[in-house]
């Protein structure tokens, strides 16, 4: 493995952000302690035992829904999904139809990308000069120029489709995915091909639970006009107890479908404590995002979550953020207010909401306040 050399005096931010080595580059130097820039204040650290791969104590804390009877239109599957969306905002689904091999291949592909020499990885950093590619971008932390403390995470974000901008698989834009790294492109496209019907099915069920019987083209753009798929990479960290992989936040999606490896480290805010989402082989984690909380006028819950780092191994997760198209206007759906409920949220242009989220560090459930009446 090629290791970056640290020169003295060592400017961490320059090394990680400007030189584009990322946290992966820092981790590869095999440093013994994390630099101050990554040390969270005590009040922001999570106080739980680090997860182990054999940890199954809390696996029942968020529901695991078996979708094998979906094809037979078993109403129990739909009921369990809507109930979990209302009570927990988070659940795992098994037997969803995406082959295990496709899931394993996509995670392997993520490792291949982050295993590339830094000179190769760096090509995907968006800088508006040499690289103006908006279809794929390599990033570090969340909003590094706004955060007091950086998150221990690099991620490669791919825009699969973006409202009017078409899909990377559209006839109008058949080469849309050509700019994605070749080491991971095919596996990611294959994963998206399988995941899309699952997303559609989930949205159909969740909409039915809100009395929306039909998803026409306008509703489809409102619910899933933009699909973004990321490789989240949490490099080995010498001090998991001091750092955050991802700080507490809720997603600004309609729903998010997350594939995680067997490292563990995702925590969901429970009533009294943080609940560990124990990895289940072949499962997809589904969480309700702010958009669906808003559309359902608080019936479905978008729940805060966070991820810790590991001293044992590099962790990978692959979220698909299912978002409205940028020009969609979201607010409580008329169908969700049928019983005379008062709307809690106003009508908001989705791109405004999205840009607001990315204008500040992660801050728990605060973003949704932006849309409140
Ligand atoms: O990696 C995880 O488990 C969580 C990722 C996440 O919350 C995010 O990418 O927004």
**Consecutive 10-residue averages of pLDDT for the chain (373 residues):** 54 90 94 93 82 53 90 86 96 97 98 96 79 84 90 96 74 75 95 96 96 92 95 97 96 98 94 91 98 97 96 96 95 92 96 93 92 95
3-state DSSP assignment of residue 228? strand
What is residue 49's predicted lDDT score, i.e. its pLDDT? 67
- Pull the structure tokens for residue 370: 């932006």
Nearest CA to ligand 1 atom 1: 317
Q: Which atom of ligand 1 is nearest to the CA of 265?
A: 3
CA-CA-CA-CA torsion sign (61, 63, 66, 67): negative
Give the largest Cα separation in the chain, rounded: 66
Whether residue 167 contacts residue 40, with contact meaning beta carbons closer than 8 Å, is answered with no
Distance 317 CA to ligand 1 centre (A): 7
Q: Cα separation of 243 and 116, whole Å? A: 25
Q: Establish whether residue 317 lines the binding site of ligand 1, counting it when its CB lies within 6 angstroms of any ligand atom.
A: yes
Distance 81 CA to ligand 1 centre (A): 21
Report all structural domains of the chain as residue ranges with CATH numbers, in order of start. 97-371 (2.60.120.330)
3-state DSSP assignment of residue 316? strand
Q: Cα separation of 191 and 323, whole Å? A: 18
Q: Cα separation of 351 and 52, whole Å? A: 39
What is residue 168's predicted lDDT score, i.e. its pLDDT? 76
Distance 310 CA to ligand 1 centre (A): 14
Q: Which atom of ligand 1 is nearest to the CA of 317?
A: 1
What is residue 289's predicted lDDT score, i.e. its pLDDT? 98
Alpha helix segments (H runs only) across 178-320: 185-208, 217-224, 290-295
CA 150, distance to chain mean position in Å, is: 18
Q: Establish whether residue 319 lines the binding site of ligand 1, counting it when its CB lies within 6 angstroms of any ligand atom.
A: yes
Q: Which atom of ligand 1 is nearest to the CA of 234?
A: 1
Q: Give the number of residues written for the chain.
A: 373
Phi, psi of 284 (to 5 degrees): -115, 135
Q: Establish whether residue 260 lines the binding site of ligand 1, counting it when its CB lies within 6 angstroms of any ligand atom.
A: yes
Q: Establish whether residue 156 lines the binding site of ligand 1, counting it when its CB lies within 6 angstroms of any ligand atom.
A: no
- Pull the structure tokens for residue 284: 């997809």
3-state DSSP assignment of residue 39? coil
Nearest CA to ligand 1 atom 7: 306
3-state DSSP assignment of residue 216? coil
pTM for the full predicted model: 0.94
Q: Which helix (H) or strand (E) holds 121?
A: helix 118-122
What is residue 145's predicted lDDT score, i.e. its pLDDT? 87
- Pull the structure tokens for residue 171: 């006839």
Nearest CA to ligand 1 atom 3: 266
Q: Establish whether residue 203 lines the binding site of ligand 1, counting it when its CB lies within 6 angstroms of any ligand atom.
A: no
Q: Which residues on neighbouring strands pair with residue 372, listed in sequence order?
A: 345
């Amino acid at each position: 493995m090629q290791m970056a050399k640290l020169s003295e005096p060592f400017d961490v931010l320059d090394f990680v952000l400007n030189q584009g080595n990322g946290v992966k580059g820092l981790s590869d130097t095999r440093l013994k302690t994390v630099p101050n820039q990554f040390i969270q204040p005590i009040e922001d650290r999570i106080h739980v035992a680090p997860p182990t791969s054999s940890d199954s104590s809390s696996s029942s804390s968020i529901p695991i829904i078996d979708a094998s009877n979906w094809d037979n239109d078993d109403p129990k599957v739909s009921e369990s999904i809507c109930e979990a969306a209302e009570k927990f905002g988070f659940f795992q689904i098994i037997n969803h139809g995406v082959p295990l091999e496709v899931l394993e291949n996509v995670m392997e592909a993520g490792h291949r990308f982050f295993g590339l020499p830094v000179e190769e990885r760096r090509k995907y950093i968006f800088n508006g000069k040499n690289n103006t590619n908006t279809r794929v971008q390599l990033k570090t932390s969340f909003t590094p120029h706004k955060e007091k403390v950086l998150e221990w995470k690099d991620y490669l974000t791919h825009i699969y489709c973006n409202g009017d901008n078409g899909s990377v698989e559209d006839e109008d834009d058949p080469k849309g995915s050509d700019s994605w790294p070749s080491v991971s492109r095919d596996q990611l496209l294959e994963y998206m091909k399988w995941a899309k019907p699952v997303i559609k099915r989930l949205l159909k069920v969740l909409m039915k639970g809100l009395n929306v019987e039909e998803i026409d083209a306008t509703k489809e753009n409102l619910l899933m006009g933009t699909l973004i798929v990321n490789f989240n990479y949490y490099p080995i960290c010498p001090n998991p107890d001091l750092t955050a992989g991802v700080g507490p936040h809720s997603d600004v999606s309609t729903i998010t479908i997350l594939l995680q490896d067997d490292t563990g480290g995702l925590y969901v805010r429970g009533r009294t404590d943080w609940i560990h989402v124990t990895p289940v082989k072949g499962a997809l984690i589904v969480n309700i995002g702010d958009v669906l909380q808003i559309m359902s006028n608080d019936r479905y819950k978008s729940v805060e979550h966070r991820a810790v780092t590991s001293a044992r191994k590099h962790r990978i997760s692959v979220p698909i953020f299912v978002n409205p198209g940028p020009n969609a206007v979201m607010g409580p759906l008329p169908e969700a207010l049928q019983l005379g409920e008062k709307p809690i949220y106003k009508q908001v242009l989705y791109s405004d909401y999205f840009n607001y989220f990315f204008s500040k560090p992660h801050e728990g459930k605060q973003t949704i306040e932006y849309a409140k009446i």
